[in-house]
Amino acid sequence: MSGPAKTTRSSPNSTCYINTIPLELLSVIFEHTTTTSVAFNRWGPDHRDFHDPLAALKLSHVSSRWRFIARSKQTLWKEIRLAPDTTFAEFCAGLAVVDLTVSLRVIDYHGDASWTERVLEISCQFMYQNAHRISKLFVFGGHPLLEMFLTTPFPELKTSILEFNRNAVIGRSLVDKIPTLALFGSYAPKLQYFAWTCRRLPLMATSLLKNLTALDLDLRKRDVLNWPDFMSLLSLNPNLETLVIAIPRSEGHRYQNPILHLLSLQKAKLSVHNIQDLKAFLQGIVIPGILNFGIDIEDDTSFSTIYSTLELQGCLLSLLQQSDSCRIRHLSTIHMFCWNADSHATFDMVFLLLDPQDASHFAKMLPAVKQLAFLDIAPQFLIPPLSSVTLLSLRKTKYFPNIARWIRTNTFPSVATILLPRLPATWWSSLLQDLIYIIDASPKPELVVSFGHNMSENDWESLKEICSREGVRWRYGEYEESLEGGMEGGR
């Protein structure tokens, strides 16, 4: 490539020849051009940058300088996303370095099935041939050809994310064989982070899954692991920092001995069938360092039962009681996401409420909360007095059914600010009537109207009239997005 290229900074209208660009700068351009991003929302970070060997392969055929960069800069080949092309594997096989990161996304291509299988076969061969130097492995999708490398020892593997529930049709035969497969040849001695999404577990998984720092098992069925095997698996991993798992049913195992001391555990995201299973689990562990806790309870329960269960681990109750902010979404289930802005500790809980009239322990859970947000629908349970709340956000509240039944005149005795929602113009009339109940439950709060409020002229005049009659002020203003952000988990 010897043609001109436009510069981009001091002289945007001038041109220069690529052959005159310093090699170091050209390397940066090459790296930027051939970098791709893969979403990892399910496992924590939003995305991860990978090197796209197919893009590098195409670019290296354009110029000898590009080709020199592609073959000499090994840092480009430390994180590779295997792409659908039959030539890239041969191209990068000789360039792969120690401590290699590989991502493979199995796609059910429409078209030539033989071509698809050939591409996948080359990818699997690359994984098999380079298993001895792969330290991070990410596989999404299922196909029988994956067996080619799944049973191969990975002596350097530290991080593995395997999601086999995608492409169910082509992956079914692989999934059916999972219980008979010795994953990684039962040899991955350096494995620390293991994430597994499949309805079955591989053969002798417990011999492989030990001394981990992160374990994420999405088994889709709670009966894949029984209670003794579950607790045994945890006992093999005393240094866990992250745990994501569906807790099995605990019948007959209410009191587990010995107690498991998971002293390094900082993040846990759990689901249980009922509150009794959670009790059995909390009675069998010690987790003093927990900072981020999530629980999804499938069966119905009450605030008082949840409170008494959390008392089994005082550190969990502290996460709630030290939260200064909370978002609540109440649809078919109640979803509470609470956090402390200073410590970044979080508590995420989803459950079915047994009795909406019995919510006195709700206030005991949140004695320090200052900011409270209702998302979508105002909670359909009797909200007890919350004396610590000073800011009530209705920014993303769309409906207030039976609000007089759930909010009383003493519900928000300290609220100083109410953030009004952005709504379609036709909804404002009904909201303004409901707003009176909320104002009456507060000590003359200031109403904050967002820019672009969509109120008609009549509704705008009605709001001013309400403010005048109730003796409250209003002003325009924006707000902190974090309070109304997306919920972190749940069903």
* Tens digit of each residue's pLDDT (9 = 90 or more) over 319-374: 999 999 999 998 889 999 999 999 999 999 999 999 998 888 999 999 999 999 99
pLDDT band at 391, cuts 50/70/90?
Answer: very high
Beta strand 334-339 pairing with 346-353: antiparallel
- Rounded mean pLDDT, 282-297: 96
Q: Comparing 349 with 7, which gets the higher pLDDT?
A: 349
Which residues lie across from 160 on neighbouring strands?
A: 137, 194
Q: What is the pLDDT of residue 491?
A: 41
Interior/surface letters 180-192, b for 16+ CB within 10 angstroms, e for the rest: ebbbbeeebeebb
Q: What is the pLDDT of residue 4?
A: 45
pLDDT band at 424, cuts 50/70/90?
Answer: low
Least confident of 136-140, 335-339, 400-404: 400-404
Q: What is the pLDDT of residue 24?
A: 72
Q: What is the pLDDT of residue 463?
A: 87
Q: What is the pLDDT of residue 7?
A: 47
Q: What is the pLDDT of residue 245?
A: 94
Condensed to tens digits (0 to 9), the pLDDT of residues 65-88 reads: 766 776 666 666 666 777 655 555
First to last CA, the chain: 53
Dist. CA 215–CA 229, nearest whole Å: 15
Angle CA(223)–CA(254)–CA(248) in degrees, nearest 5?
15
Q: Comparing 363 with 455, which gets the higher pLDDT?
A: 363
Q: What is the pLDDT of residue 177?
A: 82
Percent of the chain at pLDDT exceeding 70: 74
- Rounded mean pLDDT, 101-120: 70
E strands of 148-284, at which residues? 159-163, 193-197, 214-218, 242-246, 260-261, 267-272
Percent of the chain at pLDDT exceeding 90: 38
Q: What is the pLDDT of residue 2?
A: 44
Q: What is the pLDDT of residue 321?
A: 97
Q: What is the pLDDT of residue 407?
A: 85
Residue 369 and residue 323 in contact, taking contact as beta carbons nearer than 8 Å: yes
Residue 105 and residue 128 in contact, taking contact as beta carbons nearer than 8 Å: no
Dist. CA 93–CA 20, nearest whole Å: 31
pLDDT band at 184, cuts 50/70/90?
Answer: very high
Angle CA(330)–CA(336)–CA(340) in degrees, nearest 5?
150
Q: What is the pLDDT of residue 8?
A: 47
Q: What is the pLDDT of residue 486?
A: 47
Average pLDDT over the chain reads: 81
- Rounded mean pLDDT, 383-400: 89
Condensed to tens digits (0 to 9), the pLDDT of residues 205-219 reads: 677 899 999 999 987
Condensed to tens digits (0 to 9), the pLDDT of residues 216-237 reads: 998 767 778 888 889 999 999 9
Residue 112: partners with Cβ closer than 8 Å, 6 or more residues away: none
Dist. CA 410–CA 387, nearest whole Å: 9
pLDDT at 453 > cutoff 50:
yes
- Return the DSSP state at 82: E
A 10 A CB-CB count for 366 gives 25
Which residues lie across from 100 on neighbouring strands?
A: 134
pLDDT at 54 > cutoff 70:
no
pLDDT band at 450, cuts 50/70/90?
Answer: confident
Interior/surface letters 319-356, b for 16+ CB within 10 angstroms, e for the rest: bbbbbbbbbbbbeebbbbbbbbeeeebbbbbbbebeee
Q: Is the pTM of this model over 0.85?
A: no
Q: Comparing 291 with 50, which gets the higher pLDDT?
A: 291
